[in-house]
Amino acid sequence: MQSLALYIGFGLVTASILCIGAVSFTLQFGISNLFNLAFGATMTAAAFVAYVCNSAGLDIWVSLVLASLSASLLSFLLNRGIYVPFRRRASGMFTMIMVTLGVGVILQYAIEAIWGADNFSYNMAAGRAVHVAGMLFTTTQLAVIAIAAVAAAGVHIMLRYTRLGKAMRAVAVNERLARNCGIPVKAVIDGTWLLSGALCGVTGVVLVMDVQVLNSGSGDDFLILIVAATVLGGIGSAYGAMVGALIIGVVSEVAAGFINAQFKDISAFIILAVVLLLRPTGVINSIASAKEMAR
């Protein structure tokens, strides 16, 4: 059982990165009813900002903060400049998916036009190996897990106990009712995009810190797992995203270790397919049922 603990450890690292991304992705869906497929490209953009800062001699953790801030700004601007105007034209969810896909494609290939298809990596200390209860981590990975834990706890505290969080939940469930109750919906939406954009940036950078490879497709490849975790947990629900991330992260690494490396993604997808079959709106579907997504 020594090796089981080892693989669960790997899974926890993947799950942590997934968790930050999935929470951010699902907040955007909840608040704006938007399946933001430009999310992956935003992650990549943030990772490249961190790369540029890092190459200029800044410490990787400082670069992480700067990248997160720029992703926050980028997400905010995309929402205000493109998504909101399209939404105001009463575009349905389908048009909005196409819009975010279009934005994502433009963003991703703009990055590729600048940096090409080459691989990059950060200039950082790998950190030493640490054994925790049979699991093996580098110090960097422990930091990633800590960041995810802080992010998850922070989102939980915010949603439960702050006025902004309560307002966000209200807007997610019923925007019109929230507005009629005097909630400044526009400001709440702006705040959500700034916050989720920052988390999106963090995801992009810690992903590259963990896998140590960065190219123009990094974020988009990882977005597939984020989408899987989000839909598995129940889209729109922050807690669902955390559960989904944990399941997808741990199961995929354990399957990769015990069966075959081929089964890493398949196992995640099989779980997702089974859940979708039984419960198309995911594990925790409070937001999904509030939005009446299933019949």
Partner 1 sequence: MSGAWQFYVATLIIYAFVYIIAAAGLNLQFGLTGVYNFAFIIFQAAGAYTTAVFSLGSPGAFSGFQTYILGLHLPFPVPLLASAVVAGVLGVGLGALTVRRLRADYLAIVMLVISLIATGVVTDYQGLFNGAAGLALIPQPFSSLTSSSIVYDWLYAVAAGVICALVLLAVRMMNESPLGRSLRAVRENENAAAALGKNVTALRLLVFGLGGAIAGISGSLLASFTQAWSPSSWLYTETFVLFTALIVGGTGSNLGPVVGAVLVPVVLAEGSRYLPQFGPPTLVPSLEWITIGVVLLAFLWFWPRGIVPEPRRVFPPASSSGPHSPPRARGLSVKNPQRDRGPSR
User: By three-state DSSP, how is residue 120 classified?
Assistant: strand
Measure CA 162 to chain center: 22
Residue 77 or 98 having the CB closest to partner 1: 98
Which residue in the block uniquely carries the two structure tokens 């963003």? 107
> Taking the complex as a whole, how short is the minimal distance between the CB of residue 38 and partner 1, in angstroms?
10
Residue 133 or 277 having the CB closest to partner 1: 277
Q: Which parts of this chain interact with partner 1 (CB under 8 A)?
A: 35, 82, 86, 91-95, 97-99, 101-103, 105-106, 108-110, 112-113, 116-117, 224, 227-228, 231, 235, 262-266, 269, 272-273, 276-277, 280-281, 288, 292-295
Residue 90 or 133 having the CB closest to partner 1: 90
Which residue in the block uniquely carries the two structure tokens 């997160």? 68
Residue 195 or 226 having the CB closest to partner 1: 226
**Backbone phi, psi, residue 136, to 5°:** -120, 120
Which residues, 6 or more positions from 132, have their beta carbon under 8 angstroms from its beta carbon? Answer: 9, 142
Establish how many alpha carbons lie within 13 A of residue 68's alpha carbon, considering only the half-sphere containing its beta carbon: 20
Which residue in the block uniquely carries the two structure tokens 């988009």? 220
Which residues, 6 or more positions from 41, have their beta carbon under 8 angstroms from its beta carbon? Answer: 103, 104, 105, 107, 108, 111, 219, 220
> Taking the complex as a whole, how short is the minimal distance between the CB of residue 260 and partner 1, in angstroms?
9
> Taking the complex as a whole, how short is the minimal distance between the CB of residue 167 and partner 1, in angstroms?
25
Measure CA 201 to chain center: 9
Residue 126 or 270 having the CB closest to partner 1: 270
> Taking the complex as a whole, how short is the minimal distance between the CB of residue 163 and partner 1, in angstroms?
30
The candidate with the shortest Cα–Cα distance to 248, out of 279, 220, 225, is: 225
Residue 42 or 108 having the CB closest to partner 1: 108
Residue 96 or 167 having the CB closest to partner 1: 96
Which residues, 6 or more positions from 149, have their beta carbon under 8 angstroms from its beta carbon? Answer: 16
> Taking the complex as a whole, how short is the minimal distance between the CB of residue 84 and partner 1, in angstroms?
13
In angstroms, what CA-CA distances link 279 with 13, 230, 253?
27, 14, 24
Residue 201 or 234 having the CB closest to partner 1: 234
- In the DSSP assignment, the letter for residue 284 is S
> Taking the complex as a whole, how short is the minimal distance between the CB of residue 295 and partner 1, in angstroms?
6
Q: Measured between alpha carbons, how far is 262 from 259 in angstroms, rounded to an integer?
A: 8
